[in-house]
Structure 1
Amino acid sequence: MTAGMNLIGAVPYTFVVAVAVTLHLVFLGYLVVGGFLAWRWPATIGLHIAVVAWGAASLLFGLPCPLTDVERFGRAGAGMGELPPEGFIEHYLTGVWYPADYAVGVQVLVFAAVAVSWTGLILRSRDRRVGSPAQ
């Protein structure tokens, strides 16, 4: 915190940071496991497709993340240090949860998890249709 920062005034901004970080983690978690959740709740596959599309577009085209912008706003208001230009993943995950040299490998594993989950969903959907009584 900056010198003379009113701690009470920083609380709402700190809350904004906490919510943005939590939503980021939920988003990334759903990105990885959402396709598997669709095995149980098939109606959720549309949401998972949208999450994967956003994640892929963000990675491929460097789209700015609105949650990162919200976190930056909260950090500035709370007097916290800035995020690196690369954003959330670089600050909280790369080099913390996995070595920075493994970033591409982690991306491949995430892609593989999505591909396996979607393939499984397709196979399960076919099995349900084949096993359903004829109409």
Structure 2
Amino acid sequence: MAGFLAAATVVVHFAALLYIGLGGFLAWRWPKSIFVHVFFVVWGVAVNVVPGLPCPLTTLEDHFRARQGLGPLPGGFNEYYIYDDLIPRGLLPAFTVAAVLVLIFSYAGAYLLWKRRRLVATH
């Protein structure tokens, strides 16, 4: 059971990362979802830049790994699953810039749509 729960945690972790990267676009349809997305973005950035701040999903996966007799993820989730396997290390700076640009675009689009909806509602 612990193996299944560890695998499920990995799936949820990847879903959370996709939401952090692309969830701003949901606010184009559901404007109030932006507040949840901002929380996820702030938390995602914080666990990657604040030394010692653990990611709860990595902690949960490590717990289930321990129940299987395995050690914690070597280097953490990103190090184990993403760096070099999905994103070559040499492209990390470019990927980071692209991710920030996507975030800015999604938020700008959400703002412009929100503003247009308010304008239409007042006329």
State the Cα deviation string for residues 77-116 of structure 1 (Å, max 9, x = none): 223464113x111111111112111122222221111111
The structure 2 residue matched to 1:28, chosen from 13, 17, 21, is 17
Q: Does 1:40 align with 2:32?
A: no
- Which letter does structure 1 place at the counterpart of 2:27? A
Q: Does 1:100 align with 2:110?
A: no
Per-residue deviation at 1:132?
2.6
Equivalent position SS for 1:42 = coil
CA distance in 2, matches of 1:133, 1:67: 44
CA contact (8 A) 2:24 2:110 kept: yes
Give the superposed CA RMSD.
1.5
Instruction: State the partner residue of 2:58.
Output: 68
CA distance in 1, matches of 2:104, 2:122: 29
- Which letter does structure 1 place at the counterpart of 2:60? V
Work out the percentage of aligned pairs sharing the same amino acid: 37
Q: Does 1:118 align with 2:107?
A: yes
Instruction: State the partner residue of 2:73.
Output: 83
Equivalent position SS for 1:26 = helix
Question: Number of paired residues?
Answer: 122
CA distance in 2, matches of 1:104, 1:66: 25
Structure 1 or 2, whichever has the larger Rg, is: 1
- Which letter does structure 1 place at the counterpart of 2:59? D
CA distance in 2, matches of 1:18, 1:24: 10
Instruction: State the partner residue of 1:109.
Output: 98
Q: TM-score, normalised by structure 1?
A: 0.82
Q: How does 1:46-65 map to 2 (within 5 A)?
A: 46-62=35-51, 63-65=53-55
CA distance in 1, matches of 2:118, 2:94: 36
Q: TM-score, normalised by structure 2?
A: 0.90
Instruction: State the partner residue of 1:7.
Output: none
Q: Does 1:128 align with 2:96?
A: no
